[in-house]
Amino acid sequence: GAVVSQHPSWVICKSGTSVKIECRSLDFQATTMFWYRQFPKQSLMLMATSNEGSKATYEQGVEKDKFLINHASLTLSTLTVTSAHPEDSSFYICSARTDRALGQPQHFGDGTRLSIL
Cβ within 8 Å of residue 112, ≥6 positions away: 6, 7, 8, 9, 10, 11, 21, 91, 92, 93
**Rule CB under 8 A: is residue 102 a binding residue for another protein?**
yes
**Count of residues touching another protein (by CB under 8 A):** 20
Say if CB 95 and CB 107 are below 8 A apart: yes
Interaction with another protein in 5-44: which residues (CB under 8 A)? 32, 34, 41-44
Which residue from 93, 96, 114, 116 is in contact with another protein, where contact means CB under 8 A? 93
- For another protein, the binding residues (CB under 8 A) are 32, 34, 41-44, 46, 49, 93, 95, 100, 102-103, 105-111
